[in-house]
Structure 1
Amino acid sequence: MNKTVLHLMWNSINAYPDKPAFLYKKDGKYQALTYREVGETITNLTHGLVSRGVKPGDRLAILSYNRPEWPICDFAAFSLRGVSVPIYHTLPTAQVRYILRDSGARVVFVENELQLNKIREIKKDCPDLEFIILFNGPASDQTIAWNQILQEGAAHRQKHPDFYRNSLESINPKETCSIVYTSGTTGNPKGVMLHHHGFVLDVVKSESVFCLYPEDVFLSFLPLSHLYERLGGHWCPLYRGSTIGYAEDITTVINDIQQIRPTVMVSVPRLYEKISSTVMEQVDSSPPLKQKIFHWALKTGRLYQQKKRENRLSSGIALKNKLADRLVFSKVKQKLGGRFRFPISGGAPLSTETLKFFEAMGLQIIEGYGMTETHLIISLTPPGSTKYGSCGKPIPGVEIKIASDGEILVRGETLMAGYYKQPEQTKEMIDRDGWLHTGDIGYLDDDKYLYITDRKKNIIITTGGKNVAPAPIENTLKLSKYIEDVCVIGDQRKFISAIIIPNYENLKKWAQQNSLNFIDQRELVNSVAVNQLMSQEIDRLQVETARYEKIKKFILLPEPLTIEQGELTPSLKIKRKVLEERFKKEIEDLYRE
């Protein structure tokens, strides 16, 4: 019976006790933690927390990067009917303080000394915070060591052998089990109250589209504090008895791919775009013959996929595609571990060019759309049924309709319980008829495929009365290897302009190849030659763009945006209002000239 997320997990623990659940790096080598060992640790941790007086309804925060202890803490919080509160490990101290205070967290699990220092600095401001449990490091007068709480749990378990089972069965699937703070692009984050009923529906219905197997291996590197990785990258595979391998660090993902050799990977478009652009850059620097073979293979792969979709596949095209795979695609796939079944992309729109690149190699990227307020997944691309530009069809049990102003509305049993301590904002989000207002603009085609245009609040209205959606323009410009990110501006202005964050690495290479001397990045982006290069790139990419949507002027930033400076959300989305305020003078200068 799939009553809770815990039941999904325990079904796999009982079915595959000796199978690796988690792979993690220790002393430079990957070690395995079996489903049986994970189950034992969850049980002992639950008992350890209870022995310290932690009770149902208490909030337990997790401040750590991805590692086996993260989901174990999550499951232990669920097991005692507590409320799990994930916190991004990259958040600055002030934002950690806000979440701990607002949630009233009584327990916080911290990864290491770096995260512990944040807690030490703010503990006096968090009156409800009582227990600090440290994964790496010894116990102290302020902290409880990981092994210590597990030992206490084992002792409590001996005295109360029936406690865990009774606690598990007493869970009400509709009671709040997690408060997830959304990384809003404006103001303080809101705590979204979520429950097992919504999570289980989302996991089971989404997995019915993915079709996972116990033999599947996932690579985990997106922050578990984001529901996308937690549900899509953990609970879905754990539900099917799959294995999850942890990247050592966000910067080591490519190396980790080759060691873990995943069959499925949950990622954001940025990684897939990085992989495709890296391959194309290597091709461009290859001898002419290799370039010719690669482009022939890419063209062949695309034609093969097109004919396959149309059910017009001939033996000749199939034979050519087999040759293209042997000569080219197999080598690229080998660098990705050699056994990829399909990549999953979400969190932001994926460019059609990137989608077609992977598709040509026989790697169908499954795109999805979701939000924290719906227990994550709203729509998914059915495997083998891609429509370019779409994020798929609603998963079973989810209704979608488009409001008169183009806003996407969602209804179903996977809607949140509400915003924590914010009833008025909950009423603004979910109307009387049970429709959740997503804040996204989009449309459904005749086959019920969903297309997203932009965020409602991001729509730009020029002084000429033209409505401009910035997201499609930004996604097009990011196809340039010299552009890392873009923020389109121009609301109540005569024309559209942009703040551009260059790809500094590629820009420096270009400068060196063109004998352009520079002292630092500021001098580089201020140079006439680089600004001419960017103008050419913008013009090249906007050939088919409507005149009123074309970028007339731009600002090149000398440094990347950061979470610490408040310019990016923890999920790496640009905070537009922050940028417009921070670069107010430079923007005014653009429109004054």
Structure 2
Amino acid sequence: MAAEITRVFDLLKYSLEKPKQEFVNGKIHGKWVNYSTAEFCDAVDYLSRGLIKVGMAKGGRVAVMSHNRPEWNIADFAANQIGAYQIPLYPTLAEHDIKFILKDAEVSIIFVADQDLYEKIKPCADEVNPNIKIYSFSEVNGVDNWKVLTDSGKSATDINLDDYKSKVSGEDILTLIYTSGTTGTPKGVMLTHKNLVSNFLNSLVIIPEGGKKGLSFLPLSHIFERMIIYLYLYNRTDVYYAESMETIVADIQHVKPNLFSTVPRLLEKVYDKIMEKGKSLTGIKKNIFFWSVALAEQYTIDAGAWYNFKLSIARKLVFKKWQEALGGEIVVIVSGGAALNPRLARIFWAAGMPVFEGYGLTETSPVITVNRMGGTMFGTVGEVITGVEVKIAPDGEVLTRGHQVMKGYYNRPDLTKEAIDEDGWFHTGDIGELIDGRFLKITDRKKEMFKTAGGKYIAPQMLENKYKESIFIEQIMVLGENRKFPSALIVPNFETLKTWAGRKGINFTNHAELIKNDLVLTKYNEEIEALSIGFGKWEQVKRFALLPTEWSIIGGELTPKLSLKRKIITEKNIDIIEKIYKDAESYKAPN
């Protein structure tokens, strides 16, 4: 009989029922490190005892700042099975956010990955509380390695972990996750064992038969990827961590995963690179390539026999190579964190690599809805998972209720009251609709919608997702609150643009010079006009500015999950924005 799972750490006992040699694996400094189930569970227990020996107990606070690697999970389980709160810290966090979190969460122990992250967090920790203990996963000069704790715990046979585990219930807090948000101070989201256990048990619908090897590269600091890893363990899926985005191609070829989770932008990049290769083909090969892509754009799950016959040819001649580029063994890809372009979803499905788009927030553990085999509608984020309710408020906001809703915001009962009403409905801040009463479609963030000077409502995300279909556009932000018309700031896909510029004989010495070229500006105007078809005249972007530098987390323009920090982007580019509208003062807004 399988172990009952009511707390996250129950996954370990469950996993020991069917142990394996490659349980959790990671590529660190160019080498694969493999933990068998027994080795992993032993390391967790040793670390738990080591933590207890240095004073950690139920309600204690353990932070982890590390890239994805098996030790991240070991530290997570070691903390949560003795009832301590685990606090993930994004490696890309700004110093002021690190200080705020360490102080607000009252962290007493931090695990860091390596020298770079130690040097980043040490000054912050010293300023907040010099008594915070720091341990490293990799060897760092002058810093205690995490194995100091495991070695200490290994000999601490007098500590009975069952006594500690028995005091942890499903209602107890598992983790505090601080949402960076697009504005304001981070908020600590309190998620319980029950939140996460219920979420991964009911998200099992996304893993079809054959999902036995999962590759992970999205940050574990985000609840989406963390829940996915718990789900993999429950499904007895082997976990492999890619070393970095720079090594992802080689890591995929080594692992040959059946599953991975991603954000839409990464799928867009894969698609853009494939399309660039397609454009470099000649003759009949080029014709077959673009015939296959055009066919894929028409894909429907219940297509007829004639379409499926043509698709089988396209898969043999073209899409088999796409599959091989992603390891050749993909069963399903799970996409979240942002809206997936329906056209892109159709193409990947047609290529034999189904993409299940889901929806949720940190505050909802995270999954609320997800597409799945036998229940997928392109352009939506799927149906609710078991135990979850969704309804649409009169103003269009998506509300949800169920086992997935957080306990509240740490130290902020005022914000908790704002977010969760008296009937238990969590207000997501997203605008959406239910298609056929089943499939949820998200149209925009409530706070990001704006009115033009003419009183027309604009949903910027919907426009941005459409414009990003252009292989020439890397990033885009639509704006225009209280202005005559919407405009946009655009960061070009410089790899694609440079290739195009070379074919056109355009000379340039840097990005700033390239984006001022008249032919380039004309090209982007054509791209925007072509993709504006289908939107109302008042919604269409009428003016734009090209920017020479990509927005980034480090630059402060993006959140750790790659959402736009609109206020910051606006402030940094206010002069450019003012010039857009000054140059168009004579422009008459459309009706």
Under a length normalisation based on structure 2, what TM-score does the superposition of the two structures give?
0.95
Correspondent of 2:227 among 217, 221, 231: 231
Structure 2 Cα separation of the partners of residues 33 and 367 of structure 1:
31
How does 1:499-538 map onto structure 2 within 5 Å?
499-538=489-528
Determine helix, strand or coil for the equivalent of 1:523: helix
How does 1:419-458 map onto structure 2 within 5 Å?
419-458=409-448
- Post-superposition shift, 1:200? 0.6
Structure 2 Cα separation of the partners of residues 82 and 62 of structure 1:
13
Cα contact 1:212–1:240 (8 A) shared by 2? no
Q: Which amino acid in structure 2 is aligned with residue 586 of structure 1?
A: I
Determine helix, strand or coil for the equivalent of 2:538: helix
Who is 1:148 aligned against?
Answer: 148
How does 1:138-177 map onto structure 2 within 5 Å?
138=140, 140=142, 143-156=143-156, 158-160=157-159, 163-177=160-174
Cα contact 2:110–2:133 (8 A) shared by 1? yes
Matched, 1:362 2:365: no
C-alpha spacing 1:85/1:324, structure 2 compared with 1 (3 Å): same
How does 1:121-200 map onto structure 2 within 5 Å?
121-127=123-129, 129-138=131-140, 140=142, 143-156=143-156, 158-160=157-159, 163-200=160-197
State the identity as a percent: 37
Matched, 1:309 2:302: yes
Q: Which amino acid in structure 1 is aligned with residue 230 of structure 2?
A: W
Correspondent of 2:212 among 204, 211, 216: 216
How does 1:371-390 map onto structure 2 within 5 Å?
371-390=361-380
Who is 1:497 aligned against?
Answer: 487
Structure 1 Cα separation of the partners of residues 146 and 237 of structure 2:
26
Correspondent of 2:67 among 49, 65, 68: 65
Who is 2:90 aligned against?
Answer: 88
Who is 2:12 aligned against?
Answer: 9
Who is 1:270 aligned against?
Answer: 265
Cα contact 1:220–1:247 (8 A) shared by 2? yes
Determine helix, strand or coil for the equivalent of 1:333: helix
Determine helix, strand or coil for the equivalent of 2:334: strand
Q: Which amino acid in structure 2 is aligned with residue 170 of structure 1?
A: K
Q: Which amino acid in structure 1 is aligned with residue 178 of structure 2?
A: Y
> Segments of 4+ in structure 1 off by > 6 A?
none
Determine helix, strand or coil for the equivalent of 1:218: strand
Unmatched 5+ stretches in structure 2: 584-591
Larger mean CA deviation between 25-34 and 542-551 belongs to: 25-34
Determine helix, strand or coil for the equivalent of 1:548: coil
Unmatched 5+ stretches in structure 1: none
1:61-112 deviations in whole A, cap 9, x for unaligned?
0000000000111111101110000000111322212211111100000011
Who is 2:292 aligned against?
Answer: 297
Structure 2 Cα separation of the partners of residues 467 and 440 of structure 1:
15
Larger mean CA deviation between 44-53 and 522-531 belongs to: 522-531
Determine helix, strand or coil for the equivalent of 1:509: helix
Larger mean CA deviation between 16-25 and 453-462 belongs to: 16-25
Who is 2:280 aligned against?
Answer: 285
C-alpha spacing 1:464/1:138, structure 2 compared with 1 (3 Å): closer
- Post-superposition shift, 1:210? 2.7
Correspondent of 1:203 among 178, 200, 205: 200
Cα contact 2:400–2:425 (8 A) shared by 1? yes
Note the aligned Cα RMSD (angstroms).
1.7
C-alpha spacing 1:255/1:495, structure 2 compared with 1 (3 Å): same
Cα contact 1:104–1:129 (8 A) shared by 2? no
Q: Which amino acid in structure 1 is aligned with residue 288 of structure 2?
A: I
Cα contact 2:27–2:69 (8 A) shared by 1? no
Under a length normalisation based on structure 1, what TM-score does the superposition of the two structures give?
0.95
